[in-house]
Structures are given as C-alpha cells and as structure tokens.
Amino acid sequence: MVKSSTDKATGFEKCFEYINTVIFEDSDTASKAVAREVARLIREKQDNQQYCVLGLATGSSPKGLYAELVRLHREEGLSFANVISFNLDEYYPMEYDSINSYVRFMKELLFDHVDIQVQNCHIPDGTLSKQEISEYCSDYESKIEARGGIDLQILGIGGNGHIGFNESGSLQNSRTRLVALDYMTRVAASKDFLGLINTPRTAITLGVKKIMEAKQVILMAWGEKKSHVVKSTVEGEVSSKVPASYLQEHNQVTFVLDKEASSQLTRVQSPWLLENMVWTDKMIRKAVLGLALRLKKPILMLTDDDYIENGMSDLLAEEGTSYDINIKVFNKLQNTITVWPGGKPGSDDSK
C-alpha cells in the first residue's frame, strides 16, 4: 500500500515513505531538535509528577543529542531527577570501566553531567557469567515493564539496518538476549577496539519487541554512509533482513536525518515523482540523465513513452516531444566538451 501524507516540518508531499521522516540541514541542528523533544517530554512528565522513561542508544549518532541535553541542564535548568533510563545494549564480555564500555560512554557523555540518579540508570551488564545472562535479560525487561514501558526510545541505525544489536535476521518479537554480532557491525566497531581481532563477537541487546513497545521512537542517522540503509528502511518492504524496517509498523516513530543520510530517498533523488515540479534546466538534466541511466538507453533514444511511464509526463507536456527534450539535454552535455568530438566550433548542432 502506498501511503501519501504530508511531512509536517517541510510540507512535502510523500508517497514513497512508510515512516515519518524529517530532514535537517546538518546533524548539529537535527540533534538540537531531538534534544528539544526529549526536554519537552521530561518537563511534561515533571509537570504531572511522573517519571520519564527513556530508552537510550550509544555510538556516534546520539553524541550531539547528549551534548545538547547537558547544555540544557547547565544553562536552562533542565532537570533529570525524574528520568529513568534503559540503554539498548552492551558488548559482551565488557568491564564497566573499559575504554569501550557503554557504561563509560554514558557516564562520560551524559550521566556524570546531569542530575540523573545513579540507581535510575540501567545498562545491560557485560560482566555477567554466561549462565546468568538469560535470567538477567528477562529481569531487564521486567524492570522496564514495572516502570510502565519506555516513553521515548532513542535509536541509531547500523549500516546493515540493525537497531540496538538486533542484527539482520532478528525477529519482530525477539526478546532481550545475548546475540552474535554481524561481521559488518564488528568492522564498524573495530576502529574503537584497535582492530577486528580485539572486537567483541557478542553483545547483550534489548529485543525488537521492547523497542516496538516504546510509546515514541526517534531514530537518528547522519552521513552519506547511512543513506542506502535509510532508503531501504523508509521506502522498502518490512523485512527481518533490515530490522529497522519493523518500525514502519510503529505508530509514533520519526526518523531524523541530515542531508547526506537522506540523499538516496526518492523525494531527494527524483522529486518529480512526488510533486508538481518547476522544471529548471538543472532539474531537467538530472531527470533525463537519471532516466537514460535507469533504462540503459542513450539520451537521444528516449521516447515519449519512456517519459510518460516514468512519471515525467508533465515535463513532456511542457517541452513538447521527447525529441525536443533529448536534443536540449544532449546539446547541453555536448557543449561541456571543449575538444573534438564535442562538435565543430561554431557549427549548428541543435538538430
């Protein structure tokens, strides 16, 4: 089913995206917007004398968010006294004070700088014996349930579409558990562990089920290297191959992207498929080149039907015939070649 809705932030008509997605100029601005939403929720809960249960992520994506939350605490009096946090995951095995532990990460980036109560911070324990893990994981979930579930879950996304450490193949009803890390995940982590050989093979992760039960979810993704997985998550089918795609079935989720992470989305790649375009020369060139590449045809061989069947009939109506568009774009490209065989200098090659 194709959903058509309007992005509230941009007024953009969407019909390819199955997840509410907002694009910001850069990750800094985006992180600040997410921090404002987290702060709004914490304050709303405070006003109602309630705890605010946050699901937190580590990695590079939430660093700007945590920095802004610390600033809001220091400069604008945002209190974390009513916050209860549950982190998504931890490498296993992992000592608390190890340089790569998520306990250390959270302390250094957030917990040590705000007034959150230590007993309210929960991070999966990487020091347990293997025999203890299963019971520990079901206790972790019980603690979340005892607090009424997660109010807001913050997520990043792995290059393979993982959320938490729910790697490709994880089921939608998967529970909190010990998992084997994907090769791709280990390669991404290996720079922090000074090589693949030192990178853990396993981790404890919150299961997809608890993530999906969160009342609200915000997933952040920055940079071009996330653009392909963002596209398949937002526009592709729901599949265990890309566990983040399960979020299409969550009714309160927002993906927050910077420009680079959004660069493969249809609305960015082929905006003419989504809205009434004002066809500038630059846009015509981009669209025609894209069409030729997709259909594997030379530009001069594109037909009226090619344009009509690929959502560009308004361009055709505006410009006349495929011949007119083709030759216009062809000449533009040809004129960028300054030496032979770009055309005889001064000759009329517009037909």
- CA torsion, ordered 144, 53, 87, 127, to nearest 10 deg: -50
Which residues, including other chains, have CB under 8 Å from residue 146's CB and lie 6 or more apart?
none
Backbone angles phi, psi at 278, to 5 degrees: -95, 110
318 a catalytic residue: no
Backbone angles phi, psi at 89, to 5 degrees: -160, 170
Which residues of the shown chain bind ligand F6R in the complex (CB under 6 A)? 57-61, 88-89, 156-158, 162-164
Closest distance to ligand F6R from the beta carbon of 163 (Å): 6
> Are the beta carbons of 318 and 279 closer than 8 angstroms?
yes
In this structure, are strands 121-122 and 89-92 parallel, antiparallel, or unpaired? unpaired
Which residue's Cβ has the minimum distance to ligand F6R?
A: 156
CA distances from 339 to 6, 334, 342, 345 (A): 48, 10, 6, 9
Which stretches does DSSP call E strand in the chain? 5-7, 12-14, 20-24, 52-56, 83-87, 89-92, 121-122, 152-155, 177-180, 202-205, 216-221, 253-258
In terms of C-beta density within 10 A (0-12 exposed, 13-18 middle, 19 or more buried), how is residue 351 classed?
exposed
Beta bridge partners of 257: 23, 221
Sheet containing 89-92: give its strands across.
89-92, 202-205, 177-180
**Active-site residue, from 90, 167, 235, 260:** 167
Beta bridge partners of 177: 205
How far, in Å, CA of 79 to CA of 210, rounded? Answer: 26
Backbone angles phi, psi at 241, to 5 degrees: -65, -35
∠ CA 184-251-241, nearest 5°, is 25
**Which residue numbers are catalytic?**
167
